[in-house]
Chains A and B, each alone.
Chain A
């Protein structure tokens, strides 16, 4: 069964460093998302991406964050200058835009980001 994949599974970085989290969405999906989950807290929406541009973003997704689909398969989240409070599990998700399944988002296994 097709699935969303994410790399790395765990990333440790120093405060102020740039990180890039990578995702490969399910191949025929057209809508992509990033969410984060700080330990012990809710899953929070960051950004959605469709047709090579950001569709929606939350207040969390400030100028330190950017997303890109550099080729036909990868979808990346970049954090330019990490802060301690960016430590969280970051999930990528994707959706196939057709019929009744348009809202069903399929999640990857996540990247645990630890900022020291």
Chain B
């Protein structure tokens, strides 16, 4: 059974801090790993990673995948209160299209 594990489960930081969120996966015939941000309701797409070692960047957020060690990290620099959310990691495998989600990391950024 495919499994995605995220750590930490929750994190409280102050504005301006840098955070690193972790995602490890055991996905049969792995194809891609996706990061989403979930605030009140819908998960909002952040990144899709398919190749090892290639950093994807969007503003203060960046992410990288290590297919040898089966993990990914999501970095957020200079955090702001608006970054407070649950960050979800999900994997896809083989020809199957469903996403297997981790439990998420609840990030709280205090002013």
Interface 9-mer from A40-48, A68-76, A79-87: A40-48
How many residue pairs at the A-B interface have CB separations less than 8 Å? 56
10 further interface pairs, Cβ-Cβ under 8 Å (given A100-B50, A109-B41): A33-B97, A35-B99, A42-B103, A43-B90, A56-B96, A56-B97, A58-B98, A103-B32, A103-B92, A105-B99
A43 touches B42 (CB 8 A): no
Q: How far is the CA of A106 from the CA of B90 in the complex (A)?
A: 13
In the complex, chain B residues whose CB is within 8 Å of the CB of A41: 103
Q: A42-B101, A45-B100, A58-B98 are in contact. Are A107 and B34 (CB under 8 A)?
A: no
A48 touches B42 (CB 8 A): no
Partner of B97, one of A48, A100, A107: A48
B44 touches A103 (CB 8 A): no
Q: How far is the CA of A45 from the CA of B48 in the complex (A)?
A: 18
Q: Chain A residue with minimal CB distance to B103? A: A42
Q: Chain A residue with minimal CB distance to B101? A: A43
Interface range on chain A (Cβ under 8 Å from partner): 20 to 34
Whether A64 is near chain B, meaning CB under 8 Å from some CB there, is no
A110 touches B41 (CB 8 A): yes
Q: How far is the CA of A55 from the CA of B95 in the complex (A)?
A: 11
In the complex, chain A residues whose CB is within 8 Å of the CB of B100: 45
B103 touches A107 (CB 8 A): no
Partner of A31, one of B43, B45, B97: B97
